Amino acid sequence: MYSDQIIIDGLQYCRWDRAYFEQLKASGLSGVHVTLVYHENARETLTRFAQWQRLFELNSDLIMPVFDADDLRIAKSQGRVGIFFGAQNCSPIDDEIGLISVMRQLGLLIMQLTYNNQSLLATGCYEQDDSGVTRFGKQAIEEMNRVGMIVDMSHSAERSTLDAIELSSRPICISHANPSLFHQALRNKSDAVLKALTQRGGLLGFSLYPFHLPDGSQCTLDTFCSMIADCAERYGIDNLSIGSDLCQNQPQSVLDWMRNGRWSKAMDYGEGSASNSGWPDALPWFPDSSGFKNIYSGLIEKGFNESETAKILGGNWLRFLKSGTQPA
C-alpha cells in the first residue's frame, strides 16, 4: 500500500541536482518541504527562488513547485515530486512585515520565527534567556495567519514556542524535532510544548537527524518507531508526521553556514562540543531511496494499520497544508 499513499517529508536540505531528484522519485515521496533559506536576507532569498525556478525548468519531468495542498495531489497523479518551500529563519522578511505577503505569493509556505538565536520575532533554543515572542513577532504571526503562511517553531525556545502556539489563530508546526522525553537536546521539545501544540491541532514532524535521536547514529528503526507509537498514545495520531531533516550529500561548508551564518567568527557547536563539528554518521536504515519505505515497514510491525501509516507518512501533512496555507 505504500506506493498508493501520499508520502511527504516535512523537511530536507539536500544537494539539489538531477541525481537527487531521481532518488526522491524512486523513494516514492509525493512531496518535500525544502529549506529555501537559513540566514539569507530578502534580496538573497529572491536569488534562491530564481535558482529553484531553473531547477524546475531543467527537471520538470521529476519535480514541480507546490503553492497549496492541491498541487501535491497533482504531483502524485503525475508521478512527480512536489516541492514546497520553507525558511528556517525570519531573515527573508528583513524588518518589514509587508514582505510576509510578498514571500507567500512567491511560494514560501512555511517560516520559522527563529533559528537557534534570538531574532526580531522570537528566541532561539540556544539562547540562555527566553523572552518569548516579541512585539514584531506577534504582528508577524497575525500576518502569517492572514496570508496562509505556516508558523514553524522547530528551532525556537520553550516560552517562545508556547507563545506562538497561543498567539496563532491557526495551528502551527514543529516540522523537524523530537520529544525531549526520548532524548535530551536543546532543540527537542518538552511534553508541555507537545501537549499545547497538539491540543491546538498543531503538527509534529519526527526528525531523523542523529544528534536529536536516542543513541544518535546507532538509533534503530525499532527505537524510532517505538517513539512514534508512544507519542501516538500521548498526543494523538492525527498530529504526527515525519520531518527527516535530511541533508544528504552536503559539504561541511553548508553545515558551517547553517550554524554560523554571518553572526559568528568562531565555529558554533550549539549544544554539543567539537566532536559534533561535522556531519553525524547516517542512520543505516535511512539510506538513499529506501528510508521512508523502511519507516513504513517499521510502523506496520509496531501495529499501526494502513490508514494510520498513511496519516503519519503524509496524510497529516497534506491535511495540515490544506488548512494552513489558505488565505484567511
Q: Where are the alpha helices (DSSP H) in 268-305?
A: 291-301
**What is the grid cell recorded at 227?**
517513539
Whether pLDDT at 41 is above 90: yes
Q: Round to whole Å and give the CA distance between 128 and 153.
A: 17
- The predicted pLDDT at position 289 comes to 75
- The predicted pLDDT at position 290 comes to 86
Q: Is there a contact between 165 and 138 (Cβ–Cβ < 8 Å)? A: no
Question: CA–CA distance from 140 to each of 81, 136, 242, 323 (Å)?
Answer: 30, 6, 26, 19
Q: pLDDT class for 287, splitting at 50, 70, 90?
A: confident
Whether pLDDT at 272 is above 90: no
Mean pLDDT to the nearest integer, 84-92 = 98
Mean pLDDT to the nearest integer, 85-100 = 98
Q: Give DSSP secondary structure letters for 7-47.
A: -EEEEE----SHHHHHHHHHHT-SEEEEEEESS--HHHHHH
Q: Residues 58-78: pLDDT tens digits? A: 999 999 999 999 999 999 999
Q: pLDDT class for 267, splitting at 50, 70, 90?
A: confident
CATH hierarchy code of domain 2-324: 3.20.20.140
CA 148 to chain centre: 17
Higher pLDDT, 274 or 115: 115
Q: Is there a contact between 306 and 125 (Cβ–Cβ < 8 Å)? A: no
Mean pLDDT to the nearest integer, 117-133 = 97
Q: pLDDT class for 275, splitting at 50, 70, 90?
A: low
Whether pLDDT at 276 is above 70: no
The C-alpha R_g of the chain, in whole angstroms, comes to: 18
Choose the weakest-confidence range: 99-113, 157-171, 242-256.
Answer: 242-256
- The predicted pLDDT at position 1 comes to 75
- Give strand ranges (E) for the chain: 8-12, 31-37, 63-65, 81-87, 108-112, 150-152, 173-174, 203-206, 240-242
Bridge partners of 204?
174, 240
Cα end-to-end distance, the chain, whole Å: 35
**What is the grid cell recorded at 144?**
502569517
- The predicted pLDDT at position 157 comes to 98
Mean pLDDT to the nearest integer, 27-40 = 97
Q: Round to whole Å and give the CA distance between 145 and 169.
A: 7
- The predicted pLDDT at position 190 comes to 98
Q: pLDDT class for 270, splitting at 50, 70, 90?
A: low
Q: pLDDT class for 20, splitting at 50, 70, 90?
A: very high
Whether pLDDT at 301 is above 60: yes
Q: pLDDT class for 273, splitting at 50, 70, 90?
A: low
- The predicted pLDDT at position 200 comes to 98
User: How is the chain split into domains, by residue range?
Assistant: 2-324
Higher pLDDT, 268 or 232: 232
Whether pLDDT at 124 is above 80: yes
Q: pLDDT class for 178, splitting at 50, 70, 90?
A: very high
- The predicted pLDDT at position 250 comes to 93
Question: CA–CA distance from 114 to each of 133, 152, 231, 240, 286 (Å)?
Answer: 10, 9, 25, 22, 28
Q: Round to whole Å and give the CA distance between 192 and 306.
A: 30
